[in-house]
Amino acid sequence: MDPVVSLFSIVGALALGSISPGPSFMFVTRTAVAISRRDGLAAAVGMGLGAATISSLALLGVRVVLAQAQWLYATFKLLGGIYLLYLAWRVWRGAKFPANFPNDAAPSSGARRSFLLALATQFSNPKTLIVISGILAALLPSVVPKWMYIAIPLINLLIDTGWYAFVAIAMSSATPRLAYLRAKTSIDRTVGGVLGALGLRLIFEGAKEAA
């Protein structure tokens, strides 16, 4: 695959992975709704930095696996594909259930604390690591140019920070929050379908390479 085409594919997949519901989304939402918009924006920056760090580690991990053995890389793809299918099923199944947002306001503990808590939430969220690793394993070219090791984490930083900043602003206002709730089922099922397609691609490629 051409590196530029690969990059655009990765960007699209990372964007869809970011908007999928999970602990990070609920943390930013709760922070923005129950504490303040400022704290929510600080949490968004923490999520972005966490995603960029995980992207860097995932890129290095894929490179190490590629250098070690082809069968190990095939196994990595199979396991990642299986998990992505499981995650897609969870997202699709949960699409029909309403999102629960807090109604009570909590005292602000400071933007710095919200940033650090968001960073810790992103690092401790297995979904983030598996989704990013799975996307990279499925869509990276066979020979990864050096510039991608810089471009992908920076792009992931912008995607996650931008998305969660939007979430913080939108969810701290009543009208956008209601609009999201009305579209939640469609959004979740679209994300679930894309994650499922990526999972099937990983399983197919891993099985082909292992054969």
What per-residue string of b and e applies to 174-192 under the rule 16 or more CB within 10 Å gives b?
eeebeeeeeebeebbbbbb
> Residue 64: pLDDT band by 50, 70, 90 thresholds?
low
Q: What tokens does 56 get?
A: 């860097």
What was the pLDDT predicted at 44?
A: 95
Task: Find the range with the poorest average confidence among 16-20, 33-37, 111-115, 122-126.
Answer: 122-126
Contacts of 11 (CB under 8 A, 6+ apart): 155, 159
pLDDT per residue as tens digits for the range 151-200: 999 999 999 999 999 999 987 777 776 776 677 788 778 767 876 887 78
* C-beta atoms surrounding 159 within 10 Å: 21
Tens-digit pLDDT profile for residues 141-163:
877 888 999 999 999 999 999 99
The answer to pTM > 0.75 is no
Range of the domain at 89: 3-210
For the chain, how many structural domains are there in total?
1
